[in-house]
Amino acid sequence: MRLSAPFPVLFFAGAAHGLNHVLLTLYLTLVLVIAPQWHLPYNDLIALWTLGAMLVGLGAPFAGWLADRIGETKVLVLCFAGLGTAGLLCGLAQNTAQLEAALALLGLSGSIYHPVGFSWVVKHARLRGRAIAVTGVAGSIGVALGPVTAAGLASLAGWRVAFMLPSALTLAIAVLLATFHVAGRIVDRTDDSVPHGHVPNRADTTRAFAVLSITMTATLMLYAAFGTALPKLVQLSEIAGPSGFFMVGLIAGGVQLAGASAQFVGGHFADRGVAKRAYVLAFLMLAAVFPLLASSRGWGVAAAAVLVVFLFESMAPIETMLLARYTPAARRGMVFGIRYGLSAIGTPAGVWLVARLYNPNAHFLYLLFALALASVLGMAASLFLPTDSKQALAPAE
C-alpha cells in the first residue's frame, strides 16, 4: 500500500505528536501523587497548569509564523528540545513556584507541534486525510500513554523519574531529527506535494474561518476540561480497585487509546465531502454523552469516557482538513498557529472549569453538565459552516 506521505516525515511527525502529548499530560496524573507528598489540595496543584495551558495557545501563532519563514523541520527540532528540557525541569522542581515555571516552559514548547507538524504533514502528503489521521492517531496514542507512563514510572521510581525519563527520550529524538535534516534526508517544501485544484471563494473562506474560530475554541475547551478531569474521574469511580494509582493511570490511558481510531473515521468523512455533517453530529452526540458520563457509575464511567474520546478524535482531522482547504501553503503554518492559538482561550478555560467546578460532594456533576451546554453551543455555531462539497474536500488522486 502506498504511504500517504514520505516515511521520515510520518515517523518524526508521529513521534513529535505522540511525545508532545505524553509530556503535556503527565502532570494531570502525577498531580494525584504530588498533592499528598506536598500536603497541598488537588485544586491548588491542578491550577498550576493553567499558565502552561495558556502558553500552549499563545505560542502557537509565533511557532507557525517561524516555520513559514525558516522551515518546519528546524522548528520541530526546537519543539523536541524544548519539551525535553521542560520535562527535566519539572522533575527537578522543589516547590510550587519552580513547578509552575517548568510547566509554563512545557506549555510554551508544546505550542509548537500542532501548527508546525500538521502544516509539515499536509505539505508532504499524497493523501491528506490518511496522512493527517496517521499522525493524529500517534498523538492519540501519546495522550493514552501519558497517564500510563505517569502512573507506571511514578509507582516504580517516583514522580520525578516519571517526568525525566520521557524527557530524555524526547531530547534524543531532537538530535536524531536534526541529524536527518542536516544530512538532507528530510527537506522542507514551500508548496504542497499534491496540488488541490478547487479554489474556494472569498465568502466561503471568510465564513469558514469565522465559524471555525468559535467551534475550535469550543472543542479545545471541552477536551482540555475532559482530559484534565479524566484521571480524577477514574479515581472517583473506584474501578481501579486495590491496585490504586497505577490502575488509575492504566484505565485513563486505555480510555484514550480506545477512542484513537476515530481519527481515521474523521479523516474518511473529510475525504468523502461530508465534513460539516459529521462535525455537527459529533457536537450533538457530545451534548448527549456528557450527561451520560455524569450519571454513570463504576465501569460505566470508563465506557462513557471512551465515547467522549471517540467523538473528540473524529473531529480533529475534520478541523485540520477544513483549515488546510481554505489556506494557501505559504501561509499555512501561520493559520494553523492561529488555530491552536485559540487554545490560549480554550485550554486554560477548560482547566479553570475543572478547578472551579470540582466539588468534593458533587464531584464533577456541575462540570459535565456545563460541558454538555458548551457542546450544544458548538453545534449551533457549526451549522453556519459552508455547505459540504465533495469537490472542495476530497483529496486529489
Tell me: the pLDDT tens digits for 310-352? 998 888 888 877 777 777 666 666 677 777 777 667 777 888 8
Residue of higher predicted confidence among 106 and 216: 106
Q: Are the CB atoms for 388 and 187 separated by under 8 Å?
A: no
Integer Cα distance of 28 and 299 in angstroms: 21
Q: Residue 374: pLDDT band by 50, 70, 90 thresholds?
A: very high
Q: Which residue has the cell 538530535?
A: 175
Residue of higher predicted confidence among 161 and 134: 161
Q: What does each C-alpha distance from 44 to 41, 56, 195, 327 come to in angstroms?
A: 6, 20, 50, 41
Q: Residue 59: pLDDT band by 50, 70, 90 thresholds?
A: confident
Q: What is the mean pLDDT of residues 270-292?
A: 88
Q: Are the CB atoms for 29 and 151 separated by under 8 Å?
A: yes
Q: Are the CB atoms for 241 and 247 separated by under 8 Å?
A: yes
Cell numbers placing 230: 479524566
Provide the angle, in degrees to the nearest 10, between the axes of the packed helices 365-382 and 275-295. Answer: 170
> Distance between alpha carbon 230 and the CA centroid of its chain, in Å?
14
* Residue 289 pLDDT greater than 90, yes or no: yes
Positive or negative, the Cα torsion across 259, 354, 48, 152?
negative
Q: Residue 393: pLDDT band by 50, 70, 90 thresholds?
A: very low
Query: What is the set of domains in the chain, with CATH numbers?
Result: 7-185+201-393 (1.20.1250.20)
Residue-averaged pLDDT of the chain: 82
Taking the chain, what is the end-to-end CA distance rounded to the nearest angstrom?
14
Integer Cα distance of 49 and 62 in angstroms: 21
Q: Are the CB atoms for 382 and 279 separated by under 8 Å?
A: yes
For the ranges 22-26, 195-199, 322-326, the one whose mean pLDDT is highest: 22-26
Residue of higher predicted confidence among 90 and 268: 90
Residue of higher predicted confidence among 250 and 374: 374
In terms of residues, how long is the chain?
397
Q: Tell me what pLDDT residue 58 has.
A: 84
Integer Cα distance of 29 and 35 in angstroms: 11
Other Cβ atoms less than 10 A from the Cβ of 40: the count is: 14
Integer Cα distance of 347 and 69 in angstroms: 27
Q: Residue 195: pLDDT band by 50, 70, 90 thresholds?
A: low
- 201-240 pLDDT per residue, tens: 677 778 888 888 889 889 989 988 998 888 888 888 878 7
The pair phi, psi for residue 171, each rounded to 5°, is -65, -35
* Residue 86 pLDDT greater than 90, yes or no: yes
Integer Cα distance of 309 and 323 in angstroms: 22
